[in-house]
Structure 1
Amino acid sequence: MSWDLFLYAKVFLVGGALCALGEFFCLKTSWTPARILVCYILVGVALSAFGLYGPLVEFAGAGATVPLTGFGHSLCQGVIHSVQERGWIGAFCGGLTATAGGIAAAIFFGTIVAVVAKPRMKGKNT
């Protein structure tokens, strides 16, 4: 098995930088986490629409596709692909089609964790 340490370093640095930037906005601004998450998705869509996110994905792989900017990129690429195949109606269904697997996995694993984990109030040591 070949270990490409340079690839792992690129993935770690790009993904870590995207996450650190989000954490910076959480700590240093009055923005809510929901607003920051939506902004990350919109930035991913915008960068993908202008053709700037694709090279980042080629460079960093999962470091660029796993954060929410990667979700925005997937939405945008799904819409572009679907519009080319189906016409204008693809603008409404392409994003959901492209991201359906990730959304289904999030729902499935979230349900498993909700069933297995013991709920408790934040800050309580019970």
Structure 2
Amino acid sequence: MDLLYAFLIGGAICLFGQLLLDIVKLTPISMLIVLVLVGVVLDGFGLYEHLIALAGAGATVPLTGFGYSLVHGAMEGGTNGLFFITDGVFEIASITIVFSILFSVGAAVLFKPKGVA
């Protein structure tokens, strides 16, 4: 059942993103921002923890999970004081940020962009 919940909830999050692109006609970067902000807001109200408990990786892998990790880290770091907020953000979200940069550089090295002959 865990795999089914992960598939259904992760698929629903991705479907929501696709609907933002197709029906609302958002640009891809706007859709990314909306999905991250949805994760931020859901974690701010304490709802994303329940979604992760139910779906596991189905809730943490999409972009909403990145928003969750940013805010959750900031809230955990903020319990130690105002100056520790950034420590919490980078402690939880650092793996996502590092791999995003590495895969972006790898894709730029391996593939030729459009418009370049």
TM-score (ref. length: structure 2): 0.89
Q: Report Cα offsets for 1:54-99 as digits up to 9, x if no partner.
A: 01001000100011110111011101111113x0112344223321
Query: Per the alignment, in what secondary structure is the counterpart of residue 69 of structure 2?
Result: helix
Moved over 2 A (4+): 90-94, 116-121
Deviation at 1:41, TM superposition (A): 1.0
- Report the counterpart of residue 32 of structure 2 in structure 1: 37
Deviation at 1:35, TM superposition (A): 1.5
- Report the counterpart of residue 97 of structure 1 in structure 2: 91
Runs of 5+ consecutive residues of structure 2 not aligned to the other structure: none
Task: Tell me which structure has the larger Cα radius of gyration.
Answer: 1
- Report the counterpart of residue 21 of structure 1 in structure 2: 16
Q: Distance in 1 between matches of 2:35 and 2:84?
A: 23
Q: Report Cα offsets for 1:13-69 as digits up to 9, x if no partner.
A: 100110011101100113222122111111111111111000100100010001111
Deviation at 1:106, TM superposition (A): 1.2
Q: Distance in 2 between matches of 1:74 and 1:84?
A: 16
Within 5 Å, which residues of 2 pair with 1:33-72?
A: 33-72=28-67
Deviation at 1:113, TM superposition (A): 2.3
AA aligned opposite 2:43: S
Aligned alpha-carbon RMSD (Å): 1.6
- Report the counterpart of residue 102 of structure 2 in structure 1: 108
Contact 2:42 2:68 in 1 (8 A): yes
Runs of 5+ consecutive residues of structure 1 not aligned to the other structure: 1-5
TM-score (ref. length: structure 1): 0.83
Count of residues in Structure 1 that have an aligned counterpart in Structure 2: 116
| Greater relative CO (CA pairs within 8 A, separation 6+) | 2
Distance change in 2, residues 1:36/1:118 (3 Å): closer
